[in-house]
Amino acid sequence: MRTLRRVFAVIVMVVSILVLLLSLTGIVGTWIVRGKLSTALVGIVTNAETMATSAKQGLDQLDATLTQAGDQVAALEQGVQTLGTNVEENKPVLTALSDALKSTLGPLLDKARELMTSLSEAVAAVNNAIETINAIPFLSADIPEITALDTLSQELESFSSEVQNLVATIDEKSSEIVNGVTSILTTPLSKISGALDQMQATISGFSQQVGDVQQGLSNLESAIPKWLTWGAVILTVILLWLALSQAALFVLGWRGFSGLDILPRGQKELKAAS
């Protein structure tokens, strides 16, 4: 009976030591994993935030280009006001207006299209990066709505068509445009100006949305280390409690192996009395 008791005590001590070592290893591993996981997750979020910043900069550049286009349209509208009642006198003015449309507004449109292409690619990259983040458990970030980007692209193409139509109107109807019928020019110019205002309003709204996404990613980036630290602390407490319980179990096993009473005599007497 004594031998069986000693064998059982040895088994208890071995198991308690193994569990104790595993618990201590788990504590160390928890903090190592916490550091590496924090670095990896923060890196993913930072990458998405950088892409969102690039998209925001693209929106700002596109807005600046459209502002320049707006200044050119305003100058064209002022030029139309100088038209007189003599067709021959108007021809140099109309030629200047046509040249301005082709040489100044045309390049701005080409630049706006290039920026629009880059912006679409940047927003697509942002969405892909955020989808990667959202695929990670317990992480979530908003994705920019691409409908606004589609709307902006359509508005830009409509604006381009209006400019081309205005150039054609000046070239084809220059002999008809005099002071009394300047509506041939003022009406399309008004449409162009309105289209610019609509595009800039769309850009402003989408820029605000991208800014909110940036802020959300920034908040997530700063929150990840805190969440991981709290998780590591909770797991450390659990593993530490487990380690202490195994240490106590080892002491009981050692007492049993040494032939001592497993419980102190005072506690045994107290239990016997009860």
Over residues 176-188, the mean pLDDT reads 64
Q: Percent of the chain having pLDDT more than 90?
A: 5
List the chain domain ranges: 2-257
* Residue of 191, 189, 173 lying closest to 181 (CA atoms): 173
**How wide is the angle at C-alpha 135 spanned by C-alphas 130 and 140, nearest 5°?**
60
This prediction's pTM: 0.71
Residues 36-78 have pLDDT tens digits of 988 988 898 999 898 898 889 989 999 999 888 888 888 887 8
Residue 207: which residues within 8 A CB-CB, separation 6 or more? 56, 59, 60, 63
CA–CA separation, 192 and 76 (whole Å): 11
Reduced to 3 states, what is the DSSP secondary structure of residue 139? coil
CA–CA separation, 64 and 194 (whole Å): 16
CA–CA separation, 212 and 94 (whole Å): 46
Token look-up 């009473």 returns: 261
Cβ–Cβ under 8 Å, residues 101 and 164: no
